[in-house]
Amino acid sequence: EVQPVESGGGLVQPGGSLRLSCAASGFTFSNYAMSWVRQAPGKGLEYVATISASGGDTYYADSVKGRFTISRDNSKNTLYLQVNTLRAEDTAVYFCAKDPTTATTGYFDSWGQGTLVTVSS
Amino acid sequence: DIVMTQSPDSLAVSLGERATINCKSSQSVLYSSNNKNHLAWYQQKPGQPPKLLVYWASIRESGVPDRFSGSGSGTDFTLTISSLQAEDVAVYYCQHYRSTPITFGQGTRLEIK
């Protein structure tokens, strides 16, 4: 079964940093683009970032560009999101999501359960 | 950025009746090079991650009941549930993937009348 599992969330003060991880299993991780999508409490879905299968191409939402960095380690089947200079509005559940094809298509056929990031003093 | 606008924001439908959710994009999501509409629909139940229902605007994901169907082209799209079941209570989102950044609609909450 395709099952991404996120970790690394928690309570952090404004201006702080975290590294989120997404461990993938059930598929050949290195063949697929991966993304992060977040959801603030009680709100809708917001795209955060995408990384191509090889890791050579990355894309970001304007709201996180320059503060967040998406990366991957294909030898460890793991996706990462380094989140820096956190703001209250970054409080959300962060989902990792898998692209359905070996190209970077942009929709998502498998999602993790999410990890909650809370930014508060 | 392409803005996705769903209507209505919430919807109450009787069991067994048809539910229709609309999604409008601020620019066409039809890509001329592949003649495909880069539009997906997701279902999200409380406490769960989103689940892919439809992609390329009208292709149903494997395992999704055939009462779910997607239609539309260009800037106007529809998700239809032909006969509402109790387990269909959820929030539904459209999403374009025509260009970066990807954007989602604001969501439509579907309830039982």
Note the pLDDT tens digit of each residue in A39-48.
999 999 999 9
pLDDT, residue A34, reads 96
What backbone phi and psi angles, to 5 degrees, belong to A90? -85, -5
Nearest residue on chain B to A36, alpha-carbon basis: B102
pLDDT of residue B23 exceeding 90, the answer is yes
- Contact (CB<8Å) B49/A95: yes
Residues of B in contact with A111 (CB under 8 A): 49-51
Q: What is the nearest CA distance from B84 to chain A, expressed in angstroms?
A: 23
- Contact (CB<8Å) A106/B42: no
- Least CB–CB distance from A45: residue in B38, B55, B93: B93
Q: What percent of chain B has pLDDT over 90?
A: 99
- Least CB–CB distance from B106: residue in A44, A61, A112: A44
- Least CB–CB distance from A45: residue in B97, B98, B104: B104
Cis peptide before B8 (omega within 30 of 0): yes
Cβ atoms within 10 Å of B82's Cβ, excluding its own: 14
pLDDT, residue A103, reads 82
d(CA A8, CA A4): 14
Residues of A in contact with B77 (CB under 8 A): none
A-B contacts at Cβ under 8 angstroms? 56
Residues of B in contact with A60 (CB under 8 A): 101
CA-to-CA separations, A29 to A6, A49, A103, B12, B38, in angstroms, rounded:
14, 17, 13, 40, 24
Note the pLDDT tens digit of each residue in B25-58.
999 999 999 999 999 999 999 999 999 999 999 9
pLDDT, residue A74, reads 96
d(CA B39, CA B71): 10
Segments of chain A with pLDDT less than 70:
none
pLDDT, residue A3, reads 82
Note the pLDDT tens digit of each residue in B67-82.
999 999 999 999 999 9
d(CA A34, CA A58): 10
- A50 within 8 A of A104, measured Cβ to Cβ: yes
